[in-house]
């Protein structure tokens, strides 16, 4: 096992998050000297074990950022959703669970002092944007990967956090959605289109570029404390 892989495993732990009346499974990547934490909200059909999100979380670790990858649905809800799609577009439910997760972080002994960012993919991006309006003083920056901001178009004028939209260059419907919706955001915003990439960024170098852009955005827009806070694991 390489040193980098060993370090990732050492800072990874499974946790249960109590949020909006639900007990949700999550994976917490907690580097030794983290100064910020990014909450991941996956898209439909995915979960906390998403290899794409785990890869991005590992890249964020290099910048001293912790990551919380969570299931927004309980196991029973996932079973129902797999059969019916009932929950995946229930943005208010998902947004409230992200907001509850932010509250959980602020009561977590090792994470409560960390600056908070949100990373959302597809429908999870819509939920992250809405959650930012529910906790406007707690969320400092947002990244959307292949997101559906049109699902929450009515609340976009209330999103005051710096927001980065990342879309694949071959994902034409999502490009048009993001181009239209980004104009509704009153705060700093940016649209990055990755040439040749499709919706899942599976093409060579695509996901690496997503991770790089995400890391850079959070480095620029999460407010670093004057003194880095070290945690004893």
Q: Where are the domains of the chain?
A: 8-221
Q: How many Å apart are CA 140 and CA 161, to the nearest integer?
A: 6
How far apart are the C-alpha atoms of 93 and 52, rounded to whole Å?
24
State the Cα–Cα distance between residues 102 and 112, nearest whole angstrom: 9
The pLDDT tens digits for 13-53 are 999 999 888 899 999 999 988 999 999 998 766 788 889 99
Contact 149, 177 (CB under 8 A): yes
Q: What is the pLDDT of residue 4?
A: 47
- Regions of the chain short of the pLDDT cut 70: 1-10, 44-45, 224-233
CATH of domain 8-221: 3.40.50.1820
In the block, tokens 């009932």 appear at: 86
Q: What is the largest CA-CA distance in the chain?
A: 49
């Amino acid at each position: 096992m390489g040193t980098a892989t060993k370090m990732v495993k050492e800072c990874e732990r499974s946790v249960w998050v109590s949020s909006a009346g639900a007990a949700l499974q999550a994976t917490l990547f907690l580097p030794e000297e983290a100064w910020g934490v990014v909450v991941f909200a996956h898209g439909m059909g995915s979960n906390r074990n998403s290899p794409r999100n785990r890869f991005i979380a590992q890249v964020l670790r290099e910048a001293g950022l912790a990551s919380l990858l969570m299931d927004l649905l309980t196991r029973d809800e996932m079973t129902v959703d797999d059969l019916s799609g009932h929950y995946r577009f229930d943005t208010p439910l998902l947004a409230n669970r992200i907001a509850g997760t932010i509250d959980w972080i602020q009561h977590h002994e090792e994470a409560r002092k960390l600056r908070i960012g949100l990373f959302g993919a597809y429908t999870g991006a819509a939920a992250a944007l809405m959650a930012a309006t529910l906790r406007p003083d707690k969320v400092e920056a947002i990244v959307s990967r292949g997101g559906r901001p049109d699902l929450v178009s009515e609340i976009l004028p209330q999103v005051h956090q710096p927001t980065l939209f990342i879309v694949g260059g071959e994902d034409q419907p999502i490009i048009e959605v993001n181009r239209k919706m980004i104009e509704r955001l009153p705060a700093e915003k940016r649209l990055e289109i990755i040439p040749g990439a499709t919706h899942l960024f599976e093409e060579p170098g695509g996901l690496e570029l997503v991770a790089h852009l995400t890391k850079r955005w959070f480095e620029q827009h999460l407010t670093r404390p004057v003194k880095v806070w070290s945690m004893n694991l």
